[in-house]
């Protein structure tokens, strides 16, 4: 079974056929701008010395993250990683909480206990990543196994990078998901670099999605800079899983447009590569599409842009007002009680 390479999305009609109306289209744009805005401001906070550690950005991955996040159903679950701020934003995480998290403040989702993008809101169906990669794939697979055993019509989405695809837990998860035909979608953010390691040193097949055939399910490669194509493919894979059709491996091809994190200037990435991929910047590409195909007016655009700016300014202030955690609360939240787990996503 050869991997399928997804076509780009062209017309408004095609988009309507996959279930998005004009309001959805504008919401996608807002989510992409918010994602980029959070990451650009995070970079500034880092330079101001307000962030301990580093700041991870997914510049270039906004379309891939928002596309998949938009395709998930309200009761679906996911394990987004450090390039997937767009997933948190799409599912409704408030930007001020992201800044508070990075600044180590009480208002962050981990209450200042963990740093950077090691955060998620379980009530929104997102489960916090641990640093070890791709250790969340077995978690996503396990959630899908639970859904199947209980007969829930829910789907788990697990993210991984092309570099971490080389590790055993990626293989074990996909093998088990294939054997048990679990309702899980594996999303590979293939941004062509794993820190300084290029793809030719990470895998020897043409596409990571080629591997899906060996696990007995479908592999699809999609241009990760085309948010609508990502949405269409993710939606198809998620609904197929929901209907009992088993897993899909969806590979979103992008370029990591910045360093591994903001402390890394990516000197090892050829300049021409950045120039080539900058020409298909996902946010700009979608903005142009909205003007050309969905009749987005300049007024609508500036309304969205200023609303996003306002949200970000308020978010920075609110995060800055959030105190550092009280050291006496250190051991709190380590063990979950039954009440803590009383969310729609733990039932």
Ligand X SMILES: Cc1ncc(C[n+]2csc(CCOP(=O)(O)OP(=O)(O)O)c2C)c(N)n1
The contact set with ligand X (CB under 6 A) reads: 83, 131-133, 161-164, 189, 191, 193-195, 256
Residues 186 to 205 in contact with Mg ion, rule: CB under 5 A = 191, 194
**Judged by CB, which is closer to ligand X: 101, or 116?**
116
CB of 264 to ligand X, least distance (A): 10
Contact 106, 325 (CB under 8 A): yes
Nearest distance in Å: CB 257, Mg ion: 12
Residue 104's beta-bridge partner residues?
none
How many residues bind Mg ion, per CB under 5 A? 5
Which residues 6+ apart lie within 8 Å of 284 measured at CB? none
d(CA 22, CA 296): 9
CB of 57 to ligand X, least distance (A): 10
Listed ranges 140-148, 159-167, 316-324, 330-338: which one lies at the site for Mg ion (CB under 5 A): 159-167
320: left (phi over 0), alpha (psi -120 to 50) or beta: alpha
Residue closer to ligand X, measured from CB, 225 or 322: 225
Nearest CA to 163 out of 81, 54, 62, 248 is that of: 81
Question: 132 contacts which partner out of Mg ion, ligand X, none, CB within 5 to 8 A by kind?
Answer: ligand X
Between CA 221 and CA 252 the distance in angstroms is 6
Q: Which does 164 bind (CB under 5 to 8 A by kind): Mg ion, ligand X, none?
A: ligand X
Listing DSSP states for 50-92 in one string gives -SSS-----TT-HHHHHHHHHHS-TT-EEE--TT-HHHHHHTT
Q: How far apart are CA 250 and CA 123, in angstroms?
A: 25
Residue 131 contact, options Mg ion, ligand X, none, Cβ 5-8 Å cut-off depending on partner type: ligand X
**Burial environment of residue 80 by CB neighbours within 10 A (0 to 12, 13 to 18, 19 or more):** buried
Pick the stretch among 102-110, 153-161, 223-231, 293-301 that binds Mg ion (CB under 5 A). 153-161
Chosen residue from 58, 158, 161, 183 binding Mg ion by CB under 5 A: 161
CB of 129 to ligand X, least distance (A): 9
CB-CB contact of 97 with 107 (8 Å):
yes
193-194 and 197-198 beta bridge pairing: antiparallel
Of 20 and 252, nearer to ligand X (C-beta) is: 252
Whole-number minimum distance, CB 197 to Mg ion, in Å? 8
Residue with the closest Cβ to ligand X?
Answer: 161
* Partner interacting with residue 325 (select from Mg ion, ligand X, none; CB below 5-8 Å by kind): none
What is the Cα–Cα distance from 117 to 65, expressed in whole angstroms? 14
Residues that bind Mg ion (CB under 5 A): 161-163, 191, 194
């Amino acid at each position: 079974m050869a991997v399928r390479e997804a076509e780009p999305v062209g017309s408004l009609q095609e988009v309507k056929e996959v279930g998005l109306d004009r309001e959805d289209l504008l919401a996608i744009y807002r989510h992409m701008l918010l994602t980029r805005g959070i990451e650009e401001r995070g970079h500034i906070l880092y330079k101001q010395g307000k962030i301990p550690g580093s700041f991870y950005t997914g510049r270039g991955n906004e379309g891939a993250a928002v596309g998949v996040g938009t395709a998930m159903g309200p009761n679906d679950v996911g394990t987004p990683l450090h390039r997937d701020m767009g997933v948190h934003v799409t599912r409704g995480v408030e930007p001020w909480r992201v800044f508070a998290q990075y600044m180590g403040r009480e208002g962050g989702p981990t209450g200042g206990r963990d740093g950077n993008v090691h955060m998620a809101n379980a009530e929104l169906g997102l489960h916090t990543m641990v640093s070890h990669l791709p250790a969340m794939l077995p978690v996503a697979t396990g959630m899908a196994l639970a859904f199947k055993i209980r007969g829930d019509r829910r789907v788990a989405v697990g993210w991984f990078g092309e570099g971490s695809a080389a590790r055993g837990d990626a293989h074990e998860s996909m093998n088990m998901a294939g054997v048990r035909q679990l309702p899980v979608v594996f999303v590979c953010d293939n941004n062509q670099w794993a820190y300084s390691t290029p793809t030719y040193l990470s895998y020897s097949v043409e596409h990571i999605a080629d591997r899906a055939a060996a696990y007995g399910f479908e592999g699809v490669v999609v241009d990760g800079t085309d948010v609508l194509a990502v949405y269409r493919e993710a939606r198809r894979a998620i609904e197929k899983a929901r209907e009992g059709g088993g897993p899909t491996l969806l590979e979103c091809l992008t370029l990591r447009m910045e360093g591994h994190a903001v402390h890394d200037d990516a000197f090892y990435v050829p300049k021409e590569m950045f120039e080539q991929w900058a020409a298909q910047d996902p946010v700009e590409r979608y903005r142009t599409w909205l003007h050309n195909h969905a009749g987005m007016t300049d007024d609508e655009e500036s309304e969205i842009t200023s609303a996003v700016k306002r949200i970000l300014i308020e978010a920075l202030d609110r995060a800055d007002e959030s105190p550092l955690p009280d050291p006496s609360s250190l051991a709190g939240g380590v063990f979950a009680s039954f009440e803590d787990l009383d969310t729609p996503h733990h039932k």
